[in-house]
Structures are given as C-alpha cells and as structure tokens.
Amino acid sequence: MREAITLKEAAQESVRERSEELLAVSHTISANPELSMQEFASSALLVDAVASLTGVTAQTGTGGLETAFQATAGSGELKLTICAEYDALPVVGHGCGHNIIATAALGAFVALAPLADELGMTVRLLGTPAEENGGGKVKLLDAGAFEGTHAAIMVHPAPLDNVSMNPYASNGLKVRFIGKEAHASLAPHEGVNALDALTVAMTAVGLARQQLKPGQQIHSSISEAGGAPNVIPGTAAAMWMVRGDSLDSLEEVTQVVERCINAGALAAACEVTIEKKTKGCYSNILLDHELIELYRENALHIGRTPADIAPLGGSTDMGNVSLVVPSIHPMIGLNNPELTLHTAEFAAAAAGPAGDAAALDGAILLAQTAIDIATTAKVRERLLGSNPLAQTQ
C-alpha cells in the first residue's frame, strides 16, 4: 500500500478534478429544497451522480425509506459509512446547508472509491433522509442499515469551524386539546374552550422555564387555535420541542412539559392527546476523541483552524448513530460569524463561494480522515476489535 500522505494527495486531487460536477450537485439541491421524507429529486440526483462519477450503481429504498440510498466501493474488512443529508426546512429551504453535507459526502465517496481496496476498506455512501424532523437515521438504525459499520463520518456546515458539533438530545410532542364548540355570545357556558387549555399550558411552560436545569430547553409553536372569534374553540393544537444535554436530562424536561400540558387540560376541563416520538428521539453525541483528532490534523493541514468542540446547541439524529457506531460530526465553517443556521441568509451563503469551499474542503477532509482511520494501526485495530452496534454510552 502507498504511504498515507500519497493516498491523501490522490484523494484531494480527485475532489479537485471533480469540483465542477460536485458543486453542480450542491447548487441543484440548494435551488430545489425538499422537506423530510420528500427528497425524491435530491436523492435521485445523488444516485445519478454516484453512477456518473464512480461507475457504482446505488441501491435505493434503503431501510424501507423511499428517499434513502446506499452505494458501496471496495471489499476490505474495515467498513466505513459516509452519511449524506439532503432534506430542507420549511420556509428557509436549505438554511441548515444540507446541500453542503450531501456534496461533501458524495465527494468523499468519489475520492475513496478507487482507493478502498488498497486501504483494506469497504466504503459506503449512505443517503440519510429526514434529519430535520423525521429521524431518518433513527429509522435506518432500527432497520439495520448501519449493521457491520465500524465507523460513521460526516461534516455539517456552520458559521465557523469546530472539530465537533455538541448537540442536545431532543424530542418532539404533538399536542391536541379537545373541548366543545359553542356560540361565544349566546351560549358560552355550553362550550369547553380548548384554546384556554392551550393558553394555560403555554403559560405554565413559560413559568416552568425558570426552574429548568442548565442544559435543558423548551420550544413551541401553535398549529391550531380556533377559527372565528365568536365561536368557542373546540380544538387547539401545538407542537413542543424539548432538549436536554443527555437522554436522562431530556426525560426530566419532557416530564415538566407534560405536566404543564395536562394542567392546561385540567384547568379548562378539556381532553388532551400527547404524541411523543418514542422511536424518533434524538440523542446527544458520544464523542470519539481519537477520530476527532484525526479530523483536526487534516483540517489544519489544508489551512482550516477549527476550534474545539462547539458549544451545546442544536440536535441531530447522528447522535443516535454515535451511541452504537464510532462517529464524527465536525462543523465546517463558512467563515462568517454573523451567519446563523436555519435562516434564509445561511441558505444563500451555503450556495455561494463560501459554501462551495466548505463542500469541497469537507469532501477532502472526510476522505483524508478515512485514509487515516484505515492506515493508523491503533485506530484500525480498535475499530475492528469493537463490536459494531454494541457500544454503550
């Protein structure tokens, strides 16, 4: 096998040679945002790009998800999975820059495919839909799509570089209050006001925030709040998102929100239904510091200077993957501290020159980190010696 530095140079050259095709993928995904589990065009675009750039035919419908796919190169004993995300957000489109994630993952696969057997690796590009709200990776884990994987890697865009994201564990609650409609003037006493229940619940949650522990958060949005003002609302609905810095912390704050919701129902004499994502809960990340340091060294070598692990913030289903497969989730910067994720401004930047640089650098860094994983004896031996999908937090 050639020296690691030579293989890294070859990987970088592959990405640079294919930069025009790769950036065309990024720009197309950005310009055509698709919501979670609806990423039909983006998924098809990536599958076609894999075939045209590597000659590998991707398999679609991975794990029973229509917009998931996988493409594999090499047959070595060390199995590496590169995760691609490509779903967008409502209103702001690719305000989380998933066009960069998908392009970096594709570029890394393009660079590694011809090197996989020389590295003694099986390299897989895994298209993972619905990161924003659908828990695509959680569903893929449940379906066995990560079985046999020794390490999973991806990059995520951000305003600035960090060696790793530091996400909250999170969950969502869909809540519906059911009361009874009545004429608000002629017979208000015959109604049961579901909006009152929601108002009490929102107020209770607002007050409860004072007693939350550090590392706990609650967010909400109202999806239904009655119609005409002269009708007592018979139904009202909202969504809550809860976060904690660990799964135990998440459970604590979830119980707080549920108490507040039930208090609103009790106060207004309404019925209430609470739907939790029992299998869609996102975990915090289990950091693999050895893999993180490999990424950091490569980032420094190509001229990026990532800060340490990012402050606690956001959530991702890559956290669930990290609990069972050694993983990295570095943040690759657009070199603009004024940017904020989940905004139209970030979406625009992610499709501009800074986003293009992040996509190509991300591809190079993933490929070079994979080469280090394969050629660093102690890392390779640890991963091969571990029991994939059997790690505990």
Query: Residue ranges of the domains in the chain?
Result: 4-167+282-385, 169-276
The residue-averaged pLDDT of 42-54 equals 98
For the chain, report the end-to-end CA distance as a whole number of angstroms: 35
pLDDT band of residue 133 (cuts 50, 70, 90) is confident
pLDDT band of residue 391 (cuts 50, 70, 90) is very low
CATH number of 4-167+282-385: 3.40.630.10
The residue-averaged pLDDT of 336-360 equals 98
Of 257, 124, 109, 266, the C-alpha closest to 192 is: 266
pLDDT band of residue 72 (cuts 50, 70, 90) is very high
* C-alpha torsion angle, residues 125, 131, 134, 137 (rounded to 10): 40
Cα 219 from Cα 202, distance rounded (Å): 10
Find out whether 141 and 195 touch, Cβ atoms under 8 Å.
Answer: no
Cα 156 from Cα 345, distance rounded (Å): 16
Same fold, 4-167+282-385 and 169-276: no
pLDDT of residue 330: 98
Helix (H, G, I), strand (E, B), or coil: what is residue 239?
Answer: strand
pLDDT band of residue 279 (cuts 50, 70, 90) is low
Cβ neighbours, 10 Å, residue 120: 16
Of 118, 40, 36, 42, the C-alpha closest to 78 is: 118
Is the confidence at residue 324, as pLDDT, over 80? yes
CATH number of 169-276: 3.30.70.360
pLDDT band of residue 393 (cuts 50, 70, 90) is very low
pLDDT band of residue 1 (cuts 50, 70, 90) is confident
| Residues paired with 238 in a beta bridge | 175, 222
pLDDT of residue 392: 38
Task: Output the pTM of the full model.
Answer: 0.91
